[in-house]
Every structure is written in structure tokens, then in C-alpha cells.
Amino acid sequence: MNKLLFGTAGIPWSTKPRNTIKGIKQVRKLNLDSMELEFVHSVNLNPKTALEANKTAKENGIVLTTHGQYYVNLNSLDLAKFEASKKHILDACRIANLAGSWSICYHMAYYGKDEKSHVSERVIGAVKEIVKKLEDEGINLWLRPETGGRITQWGELNELIELSLACENVLPCIDFAHHYSRSLGKVNTYEDFKNILEELEKKLGRKCLDNMHIHTEGIEFNKSGEKKHVNLNECNLNYKDLIKIWKEFKIKGIVTCESPNLEEDALLLKKNYEGKI
């Protein structure tokens, strides 16, 4: 990536009719730069539509990313569910790849009753297997473990980094609202955000900061972390300092806005970043 791009998590609300192809064109009309394909409930594109999305995105200069299925758990003790989780990820990656998706992110696992280090070991083993299969099939996209918004979800910063170090073609998807919610509102200052980027640069190098996949949205939390996503002006996430840090570190890549109002907050972030508001 040669700059920081901004886009929506899914098809903008203002798209009519609301389908993937029209969504990509609408992102361009809105003066945004990227769109996340939402495979969260199912891989909802077939190979033909995926190729069409790929073509439309290229024609409109839009970068596509993908959010993988919610229903995976690479720490499931049920062997059938564990195997199915790996298959779900592979299935999604194949279609995302046909769509030309630059990156695909996942909430990889839940801790359950296990030690955190043990969960990481299992996740690393499974992701290594997945990455090897993708490589054998010639599929080339960033596979991204995302910050878990709840304290029961695997996906602290150090866990994302550990997995990225262990596997090729893996880098974190940093969801700043999730860092805020899983810390019960503590990670919310200029210094906190700076620490995250410094840690990423120290452990994963400049390559990571030049290829960031970020999620940012408003969020409500309770004692176990994320409750629900809300719009940025409905919560106290300190997004202005966050943007300041993005600029200071000259990060590149994609910021996907997961607020319920999608394009409105995506534009709010982009305009703030460009100093237009």
C-alpha cells in the first residue's frame, strides 16, 4: 500500500439496490477507497460474483478486504468443530482470493477454560496448516487475526503478534475499538495508541505499519468487554488522537469502519485524517 485508505465494513447503506457490485461503485461515488466483504454469516459470493466484484473493484480503483465467518473457533475441543473451522477459513479465502481481496480477518478462537498460552499454541498450529494449503493453491492474501473485543476471545496484541511471527502471510488486524472494549475503556489515550504502533513496529517491522488492516468504530462495553458497535459520536473512543498517531507514524494500508452508520463514520475518519474537518 502506498497510503492509508478508508472504507466501509460491507455495502454502504446509500447503495441502491444494496448488492456487492453496486456497493463497490457506491464506495467510489462516496469518495471512499475500500470495502470489506462481509462473510461473517456465510460466504455470500459465488465464484462468478466474486470475479465480477474483482473486476468492478479494479475498474473503480477500490481495494477489497474480507471479514471471515464468526462461527470459527480454532480452539474448539470438539474435533469436528475444530476441523470445520479450518475448512471454513479455507473456503472463505478461496472466494476472497477470486474477488481480489487484499486481506481477510478473523476472530480465530475463544479461550474457553484453557490457559492462554495453550490456546495460542493450538491457533498457531492450525493457522500454519491453513497457510500451507493456501500457498499450495497459489492463494496470496494477508490472513489476519483480529483483536478480540471481549475478554473471552483470543486476540490480545501480544497474541496477534506471536501468530504473525510464527506464520508467513499473517499480520494482525488491529481493531482499536476492540482494544478499548477488551481493556474496559483503559486503552484510549494518545500514549496507549502510540504503544500499540510502537510494539507492532518493534516486533513485526516497518512492513507491518506499511500494510495495516485496521478496524475502527464506536463501541459499547460492559464488564466482559464488547457489547455492541455504535456510531463514533455515541461513544468515548478517542478517535481524534488515534488519527493523530496514524499520521505521526505515517502508517499505510486500510481503515475499515465498522460503525452501524458505515459510510458516515468512514467519511468522518477520512476527513479528519485529511484535516478537512
Residues 117-156, mask of contacts with Zn ion (x by CB under 5 A): ----------------------------------------
Q: Minimum CB separation from Zn ion for residue 68, in Å?
A: 11
Q: Which stretch binds Zn ion (CB under 5 A): 26-34, 92-100, 132-140, 213-221?
A: 213-221
Pick 12 or 148: Cβ nearer Zn ion: 148
Pick 56 or 149: Cβ nearer Zn ion: 149
b/e sequence 210-222, b meaning 16+ C-beta within 10 Å: ebbbbbbbbbebe
Pick 34 or 56: Cβ nearer Zn ion: 34
Q: Minimum CB separation from Zn ion for residue 139, in Å?
A: 22
According to DSSP, the β-strands at 225-230 and 218-222 are antiparallel
Q: What residues between 162 and 181 interact with Zn ion by CB under 5 A?
A: 175
215 binds Zn ion (CB under 5 A): yes
| Cα dihedral across residues 184, 251, 203, 116: positive or negative | positive
213 binds Zn ion (CB under 5 A): no
> What does the block give as the cell for 154?
483470543
Q: Minimum CB separation from Zn ion for residue 61, in Å?
A: 24
Residues 42-81, mask of contacts with Zn ion (x by CB under 5 A): ----------------------------------------
Tracing cell 480454532 back to the chain, one arrives at 74
Q: Minimum CB separation from Zn ion for residue 13, in Å?
A: 18
* Residue 145 to residues 30, 89, 113, 192, Cα–Cα distance (Å): 29, 12, 20, 20
DSSP letter assigned to residue 45 = -
Q: Minimum CB separation from Zn ion for residue 159, in Å?
A: 15
Q: How far apart are CA 35 and CA 147, in angstroms?
A: 19
- Long-range contacts (CB closer than 8 Å, 24 or more residues apart) made by 47-50: 47/95, 47/98, 49/20, 49/21, 50/95, 50/96, 50/98, 50/99
Q: How many residues bind Zn ion (CB under 5 A)?
A: 2
Q: Minimum CB separation from Zn ion for residue 90, in Å?
A: 21
DSSP letter assigned to residue 233 = G
192 binds Zn ion (CB under 5 A): no
Pick 98 or 214: Cβ nearer Zn ion: 214
Q: How far apart are CA 168 and CA 129, in angstroms?
A: 11
159 binds Zn ion (CB under 5 A): no
Binding site for Zn ion (CB under 5 A): 175, 215
